[in-house]
Amino acid sequence: MAQSNSGPYRDAERGGATGDATNTISQRSAPSRRAFIKGVIASGAAASAAGYLFRGPGVPSAHAQAAGTVERLVTLNVNGATRRVDVLPQETLAHTIRYKLGLTGTKLGCDHGECGACTVIMDGVTVYSCSTLTHSVRGRKITTIEGIEGPNGKLHKVQAAFVEELGPQCGFCTSGQVMAAVALLEQNPHPSVEEARLAMSGNLCRCGAYDHYLKGVMRAAGEA
């Protein structure tokens, strides 16, 4: 999923956190939203089990010969390293980085382009990796949460600020929050609180630690 818009204010520009993701979801979910239990025998019964779907890691695909399910070797640029990996046509970037590249810092909260836990940075712009097809990111520069620490494990200023402000509660949304903040400060090193709030608005926190994250962003920007 290539994003034509630039800058960290993706949500405002595209009219909401899910705006850009919608196309990808509808393509991807053509197979995954189908009713699973065609054999249900009942009056008017329809089954649904939409949701996460992917091929397992390192397991030969049971349908490797079936049309449309052939893995292709692609070259990705992730965290500055060249990674060559076999990818299915419908495979999402979140799945590739979590299950094939072993980078589990990127989380799947909804897998529907809603929550932002899977946020990564692509060519300086945040994207939801759950709603981005891996095949579409060849030649793009991908950065995940594992790729933002400095040499010798020195925390990025956003990470250090999130520790200081105790941004994370349960921590499941934190990787995405960090990525959104890092992308913001790269584009706009001294955001106003309102700009920071807007840039972080694509990342849900069920614990409700929004103000802590926001304070962390402002601290990282040297404004706190």
Partner 1 sequence: MAYKLIGQNFAPHDVVAKVTGRAKYAEDFRAEGMVFCKLLTSPMPHAKIRNIDASDALKMPGVFGILTADDVPQFPPPQTPILAKDEVFYVGEPILALAAADETTAADALEKVKIDFEQLPHVLDPLDSLYPGGPNARSNGNVAAAQINLQTVKWQAGDFGDDKTLPMGKPAETWSYGDLDAGFKASKLVIEESFVTAGYSHHSMEPRTAMAHWQGGKCFLYGSNQSHTAAVPNIARYIGIEPKDLVFIAEYCGGGFGSKIPGYPIMAVPALLSKKLSRPVMMRITRIEEYSIGTARPTFQGHAKLGFREDGKLLAADLYIVQENGPHIGGGDFRSAGNALSFVYQPDAMRFRAIPVLTNTPLRGPQRGPGENQLVPAIEPLIDKAARQLGIDRVQIRKINAPDSNGKIGADRGPVTSAFMKEALDKGATMFNWEEKKRRSGQKNGNKVIGIGVGQGYHSAGSNGFDGLVRITPDGKLHVHTGVGNLGTYSHSATARVPADLLNVAWENV
For binding to partner 1 (CB under 8 A), which residues are involved?
A: 32, 34-43, 45-57, 59-63, 69, 98, 103-112, 115, 117, 144-146, 149, 155, 158-159, 162-164, 166-175, 178, 204-207, 209
Query: In terms of CB distance, is 4 or 152 closer to partner 1?
Result: 152
What is the closest distance, in whole angstroms, from the C-beta atom of residue 12 to partner 1 in the complex?
23
Residue 3 DSSP class: -
d(CA 224, CA 222): 6
- Asked if residues 159 and 219 have their Cβ atoms less than 8 Å apart, the reply is no
Query: In terms of CB distance, is 36 or 193 closer to partner 1?
Result: 36
- Asked if residues 9 and 188 have their Cβ atoms less than 8 Å apart, the reply is no
What the block records as the tokens of 156 is: 């990025």
Residue 170 DSSP class: S
106: how many CB neighbours lie within 10 A of its CB?
23
Which candidate, 90, 148, 139, 91, places its Cα nearest to that of 119?
148
Query: In terms of CB distance, is 2 or 62 closer to partner 1?
Result: 62
Query: In terms of CB distance, is 52 or 192 closer to partner 1?
Result: 52
**Burial label, 98 (beta-carbon count in 10 A; 0-12, 13-18, 19+):** buried
What is the closest distance, in whole angstroms, from the C-beta atom of residue 5 to partner 1 in the complex?
26
What is the closest distance, in whole angstroms, from the C-beta atom of residue 39 to partner 1 in the complex?
4
What is the closest distance, in whole angstroms, from the C-beta atom of residue 166 to partner 1 in the complex?
7
What is the closest distance, in whole angstroms, from the C-beta atom of residue 197 to partner 1 in the complex?
20
What is the closest distance, in whole angstroms, from the C-beta atom of residue 87 to partner 1 in the complex?
13
Query: In terms of CB distance, is 11 or 111 closer to partner 1?
Result: 111
Query: In terms of CB distance, is 165 or 195 closer to partner 1?
Result: 165
Phi first, then psi, for residue 76 (nearest 5°) are -115, 155
The one-letter code for the residue type at 41 is I
What the block records as the tokens of 187 is: 């584009």
